[in-house]
Amino acid sequence: MNKDDTDLSLVLQDIPGDRTVLATGIWGGRADHLFGNLYTLLAYARRGGSAILADDQEMLCYLQPGEGLRFTAGRKRPRAVSLLPLTPSCRVSITGVRWPLDNAELTQANPYAVSNKMTEPALNAFCREGIAGVYFTWKE
């Protein structure tokens, strides 16, 4: 069967655009699948939805302008926390980490806010402009 959409795209067509989607199995083990899924869910977020990409070792949440995230670590803190600009630039803040940011501009040309460390039981991230991905990994 030939088709012009991925399985994820077809599923999202049937979900109202104002819902939060929890997507598992997204990382896929191949970069082309990962990027395809990230971009597909980013398009869904731009239509007004929200998405959380998660498995047993990684998680990514999209933050749009005016959105924030408070994450409280359980028994085991993430090994790393990264803020990724998913638009050409985004303006973000993050606290509760080794290298906090306050209204910092991240660009796709210089995505320097990677591999941060939680220093508090909870972190707060906020996006003022653009779209940011808040990425957590527990991988050793």
Q: What are the residue ranges spanned by the domains of the chain?
A: 19-137
Residue pointed to by tokens 């779209």: 131
Distance CA 65, CA 128 (A): 5
Out of 18-27, 33-42, 110-119, give the one with best mean pLDDT: 110-119
pLDDT, tens only, 110-135: 999 999 999 999 999 999 999 999 99
Contact 93, 58 (CB under 8 A): no
- Level-2 CATH architecture, domain 19-137: 3-Layer(aba) Sandwich (3.40)
Instruction: Tell me what percent of the residues of the chain surpass a pLDDT of 90.
Output: 70
43-53 mean pLDDT: 91
Q: Pick from 30, 53, 32, 33: which is nearest to 41 by CA? A: 53
Pairing of strands 132-137, 58-63: antiparallel
4-16 mean pLDDT: 87
Provide the edge-to-edge strand list for the sheet that holds 122-129: 68-72, 122-129, 89-95, 101-107
Q: Pick from 30, 32, 23: which is nearest to 58 by CA? A: 23
pTM: 0.92
27 versus 113: which is more confidently predicted?
113
62-68 mean pLDDT: 96
User: Is the pLDDT assigned to residue 1 strictly greater than 60?
Assistant: no
